[in-house]
């Protein structure tokens, strides 16, 4: 028996996906600000303090909202409730090219840990909190993976990730080494740590960073091929520098052929 609202959903699109959630009367979905796309007339939208989970008392709600600030999110979320007498739908859109991942938290013992900017929307009752990495190495060198979000409850939650999404089921003791930005989510049994790449040539000339994450099974992990930080870095580098590999003369010609005649 679920305590969170039970919702039906439809994921549409390929590279730029949206999720359409079908709500029965008095059912509610929660979402981050800015994710909303459209809704039927029977649905009412309301700004709520915190994440809409069953926090008791004023201080409980304050604590819930404060944890969201640490993950870079707003103090408030938006709740969409079907106030009509039949089914109604509300849709949320992906913020950049990639895929939407559906998590049935009941299947993962009530908890999934994800990157702090991955959460998109969920059934009301799902708690969106923070997950601090307990090991010293992850705190000092973890970068994107130090403070993560945890989704807790027994309902449906939805995350967004960039590029192609791959899933790996790790056996007990199996270790997967991953770029920290490529981690989307993992189940609570997975052990997360940070490892130094090692080797003087790798350190100076590798170009991949000095550290990577290690994920140790048992458990399930979801990885993305295009972290938004990597995409933003490439766009910034392309727009502000000349092409090193084409030389001064050919580089200028290349820019001209691309339509950049500055």
Distance CA 18, CA 20 (A): 7
Chain centre distance of CA 124: 18
Name residue, tokens 């408030």.
Answer: 76
Question: Which domains are seen in the chain, by residue range?
Answer: 8-226 (3.60.160.10)
Backbone phi, psi, residue 122, to 5°: -165, 170
The mean pLDDT of 51-73, rounded to a whole number, is 54
Tell me which of 68 and 232 has the higher pLDDT. Answer: 232
Q: How confident is the model at residue 64 (pLDDT cuts 50, 70, 90)?
A: low
- Cis (ω within 30 of 0) for the bond into 218? yes
DSSP per position, 118-141: -EEEEETT-EEEEEE--SHHHHHH
Q: What predicted TM-score, i.e. pTM, was given to this entire model? A: 0.79
Distance CA 159, CA 113 (A): 11
Burial of 114 (0-12, 13-18, 19+ CB in 10 A): buried
pLDDT in tens, 12-35: 998 889 999 999 999 999 998 889
Distance CA 78, CA 16 (A): 22
């Amino acid at each position: 028996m679920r305590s969170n609202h039970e919702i039906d959903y439809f994921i549409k699109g390929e590279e730029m996906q949206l999720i359409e959630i079908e709500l029965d009367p008095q059912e509610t979905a929660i979402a981050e600000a800015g994710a909303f796309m459209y809704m039927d007339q029977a649905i009412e939208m309301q700004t709520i303090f915190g994440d809409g989970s069953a926090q008791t008392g004023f201080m409980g709600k304050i604590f819930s909202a404060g944890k969201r600030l640490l993950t870079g999110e707003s103090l408030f979320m938006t709740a969409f409730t079907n106030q009509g007498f039949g089914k109604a739908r509300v849709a949320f859109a992906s913020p950049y090219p990639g895929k939407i991942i559906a998590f049935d938290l009941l299947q993962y013992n009530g908890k999934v840990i994800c990157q702090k900017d991955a959460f998109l929307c969920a059934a009301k009752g799902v708690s969106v909190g923070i997950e601090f990495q307990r090991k010293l190495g992850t705190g000092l060198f973890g970068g994107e993976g130090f403070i993560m979000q945890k989704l807790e409850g027994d309902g449906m939650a939805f995350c967004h990730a960039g590029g192609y999404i791959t899933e790996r089921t790790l056996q007990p003791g199996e270790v997967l080494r991953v770029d920290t930005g490529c981690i989307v989510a993992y189940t609570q049994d997975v052990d997360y740590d940070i490892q130094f790449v090692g080797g003087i040539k790798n350190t100076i000339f590798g170009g991949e960073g000095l550290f990577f994450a290690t994920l140790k099974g048992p458990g399930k992990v979801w990885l993305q091929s295009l972290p938004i930080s990597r995409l933003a870095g490439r766009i910034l580098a392309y727009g502000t520098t000349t092409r090193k590999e084409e030389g001064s003369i050919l580089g200028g010609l290349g820019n001209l052929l691309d339509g950049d005649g500055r």
